[in-house]
Every structure is written in C-alpha cells, then in structure tokens.
Structure 1
C-alpha cells in the first residue's frame, strides 16, 4: 500500500513515523506541498492520498486523482467539507476521516481563548513586557455563575460543556441531537433562547448548508450586549463582515477565533514578512478585544498521536473492506 501525504509538516512526519513501525507494508511519501488541482498529479502511482483540512479536494482535483489511480482519500482531520463527495462517489473513491482524535484538545483551546479575551491576557502580556504594570483596560468578569451557550454538543462540544460546568457556569446548549452524556448539567434550548441568554457562546458544530454563516447580522442582534464569542470549529460558521460590524457596534466583550473565513492561505504558514493588504484577517486583528490563533486547537501531542493511529487504521479498514464510522458516506 503506497500513500502520499500532502502538506506534511515536521510534526506530521514525527507522529506518523512513530506509528508506521506497526504498518511495515505501508509505504509513505511526505510532501510539503498542499493538495490542489495543480499538485494532484503528484499522486500518480499511489493507492491513496492523505490530506488535511486546508486541502482543495474539489471535483477537478478528484478527477486528476482518479486518473492517477488513487483508490481512496485519507483525511487526517474531522472536517470533510473541503471534499467534493459527489465526484468521489462517482469514481468509487472512498473517503476516510478522523472524527474524534482528541475532543479535549479543541475544547481546552476554546476555553483558553475565552479566558484570554475575557481577562485580556494578550494585552496584559504586551504591557508587562514593556514594564507597564498598570491595570488600565484589563477589567474582566467572573465566568462562575455566568451562562455558557454551547452550539453543537458532539464530542468536542460536550467536552467544552464539561469544562464550563467545572467553572461553575450554567450550561445551555443547542443541537439537533441531544447528547445524553451531558444532560445531567445541560439544558437544551432553541437557538434564539441560547443567543439571548448566553454570556459565552462557543461554536462546536460542523459546517453544512444549514450551519453556513450561522452567526450573522440577524443572530448577532439577538445576543446579549457584552457577550464573548469563541469559534474553534469552522470559519464559515461566522459571516465575517457581520462579525466585524458587531464588533464595531460594541456588541462583543471579546471574540476568540481559531478559525475564520479567510484562513486557508494563512494556516500553518509564516507570513510575517508580508503586508496583508485588503485582508479580513488584518481587519480582525486591528480590534483590541479580538484574539486569533492559527488553527491550533487540535495541536497537542496526544491529538497528533491519535490522528496518526486512526489514519493508519483507516488504511486497514479499506484493505479489509471493513465497515467503519470513519468512512464519509
């Protein structure tokens, strides 16, 4: 079995190399380049490609992969909205993902963002490094006793709910499916009720047609003034122009983003020598109550090990023709 890895970083090579000792029949090649229409032909002669969430696996890319003889696609991530599933199905190319590598890693990062924007840690760090020990502009609020609204209560959302519960917060949630694992301390409400009641709103739902731009001018208007919004799920859940409008209207106490609509050219790249002209990212970074991180919610040693293990297990599932919930239907 020959697999080519696209957009592989040093930590990808390290985590997968550790696990590959258990798969002596799997031959891999690691590439720095991203999987796109222009690079898909590099997969010629390989049985599978392995890509991350930022890959452009559109219909045209899959056309080329099929011509190259690729039989299945491995996603070393949970999201699959970047894959044209109709084209994959047309060619009989199966797609596998890693649905639950480390829910706690992402949930802990979500809470870290919430705490950082609440207590202005990004500003405090800079002030103290410049020998400014004043407390001007650093006033926060207690999370204890406040209401946390969790949108999406799968594994990650449930982990975030448990963290917030541990902080002494009241937990309300919105999801099509209620998670019995957290119902003891969670009250499910309508989306409008959650927006109106929450002091902290954390997004943990997948990107689908019905969740695209879930946070927009209308839903923002229904939120409490002074709410904290955190997104560690998918950038397009939030309509950025409407978010910026809300920030300028002082609707938010703080906004923490690990994902955002314009992130694709930025994710995991060093652009420190560039000027981000006409950039939504630059506009967001101009606000003192906004903190952005570079899609690092998943980035723990435990999560990387789990991603490698599950991805390589997915190869076995394909080889053996076994059913697995990791396959995207």
Structure 2
C-alpha cells in the first residue's frame, strides 16, 4: 500500500519511516497541508494521512479524482474534515486514538498550576518579586471538581484525581458504569452550581458548541477554575473574558482556543496576530495558555502514526477498522 502523509512535522518523520517499514507500506512525506500546491503528491497513492488542517469538499473531490478511497486523520478529533463529503464521494475516513495519559496528566498539571497561582508566581518571580501577597492558593483535596465528558481521557483524569480525595462530579450523555464508585453523575446545571473547578473533555459537536457561555458562567460559583484541554469551541471566549474580568472565574488554564488554527503550531514572533481574544487572555495574570500541546508526548505521537497506518491498511485490505467514522 502507498500512503501520502500531509502536515508532517520534523519530529514525526523518523516515526513514520519506522512504522512504514514495520507495516510494509510505501510512505511519501509532505511537510505542507493538502491543497492546490500539494495535490501532486496524491498521484499513485492508495491512502492519505492528515493532521488538523481543513479538508473541505474540494480537497476530497481531488482525492477521489486520484482514485484514492481511504483517508485517515492522525488525531482523535475529526471536525476539520468534511465527513459528509467523504460519505457522498465514497471515501472511507477514520480517526485514531492514542494514549489517554498524555492529555490527562497535562490536565492535572494545569489544575494544580491554576489552583496554586503558578502563572502569576512565575511572572512575579521573573521581576524578582518574591512576596507572599496574592500567592496563597488552594489544595485540591478540599474542592469539588466537575468533569464534563467521561470518555477515555475524562476517565483517566478521574483516575488521576482519585488519590487527591477531592469530590468529583461528572456529566456525560452516557454514564460510564466503571466510574460509579469514583464520581457522582449529575446534570450540567448541577455541575455548574457545585463545582469549584471544571475540566472539559467533550468532543466538538453542535450540542457542545459554546456549552460554557454567559448563562453557564452566571450559574457557577464565584472564583471557579476552568481547565480546557479538549476543544476551543466548547467555550464562548468573549463570555469567558467577561467572567474573568468580573471575577466570576478565578483562573483559566486553556490548551485550546477558538480560532487557533492559523496561529498555533507556527512561529509567529514579531508578527501582528489577528486574534484579539488571545491578546486579552494573555494579559491576565490568572490565565495559563499553551498552544494545543496537551497531547504532545512521545507516546502519543507514536500511537497517532502507528494507528493511522494500521487504520488505512485495515480499510485497504477490507478488514474491520476500529476507527472508521460512520
């Protein structure tokens, strides 16, 4: 099988070549996104592997024109792909899974950093301000933590939180029976009202878009902490800014942000960035921002590549594919 890999990062290339050898496939590496300037790489290929760049109907039509039937994204999320166009044109499309501990451990780190005011402490330390004022934090043990989304990552976050002996509330459309002794499932409204700290682990869907909006923030405790390592679209960014300014939100730790696509993963120093909300959030001492890197561990990267190749092979060989998007 011949597979072209788009959006290849330099840290991925050795892993791709290694797993290509393992699975006995012919790999072509393209370091740019799929588009008019890189359509030539589609010629003679059997499958396409992408990451997070937008794959619209016109690109899928081009994949079809080159007689390619299989598309895989090396990510869990697939909202960057026009899935309906894939189905309409007979292109089988899949995502991947990877080690849930990468995001879960990062989430726990962000929780603790937010509670202990590490972003502010680090800024002050750089200016040689070593005073204790405004430095007093909170301990996790005495708090109620709300987990929105109890899939693999949310479940792993709960597993990591359990030894801290905090109270854990959870919301998900589907209750996970394995968590019955660790969490109390409740409605979103109850979670918003009772949680001291809220962590998001839901997918990007029409139902979850801006689930944290002005109304949601108004229903939360004063000084609530917000952690988002899932998708930026889950939070209405302007509503969050308003909630931080009114002190409704005590701190926010955000690995993802609305409209991050053309900014994150790029070197933007000395450039004017067209993202006003990002500039405002960066100015707050109680906000921690990272550029969508919660997933980014060696273990997760290898899983993403290995599973993308395996997924394409399963489709190519007519076998059952555990990551097929239906």
Pairwise CA distance, 1:129: 3.5
Residue 38 to residue 205, structure 1, CA distance change in 2 (3 Å)? farther
Pairwise CA distance, 1:30: 1.7
1:246-305 CA-partner distances (Å, limit 9, x unpaired): 111111111011111121012211111212245221121111111111111111111112
Residue 36 to residue 240, structure 1, CA distance change in 2 (3 Å)? farther
Residue 151 to residue 38, structure 1, CA distance change in 2 (3 Å)? farther
SS at the partner of 2:189? helix
Match of 1:175 in 2: 172
Pairwise CA distance, 1:110: 1.1
Does residue 190 in structure 1 map to residue 175 in structure 2?
no
Pairwise CA distance, 1:145: 2.0
Distance 1:151 1:85 in 2: 25
Distance 2:39 2:183 in 1: 45
In structure 1, runs of 5+ residues without a counterpart are none
**8 Å CA contact retained: 2:71, 2:312:** no
Distance 1:278 1:253 in 2: 23
Match of 1:307 in 2: 304
**8 Å CA contact retained: 1:36, 1:56:** no
Distance 2:84 2:274 in 1: 36
**8 Å CA contact retained: 2:119, 2:287:** no
TM-score (normalizing by structure 1): 0.94
Query: Which of 260, 269, 281 is the equivalent residue of 2:266?
Result: 269
Pairwise CA distance, 1:36: 4.3
In structure 2, runs of 5+ residues without a counterpart are none
Pairwise CA distance, 1:98: 0.7
Match of 1:127 in 2: 124
| Match runs of 1:205-244 below 5 Å | 205-244=202-241
Q: Which runs of 4+ in 1 moved over 6 A?
A: none
Does residue 91 in structure 1 map to residue 92 in structure 2?
no
Say what the alpha-carbon RMSD is for the aligned residues: 1.6
Distance 1:278 1:147 in 2: 33
Distance 1:3 1:136 in 2: 57
Distance 2:82 2:36 in 1: 13
* Matched length: 326
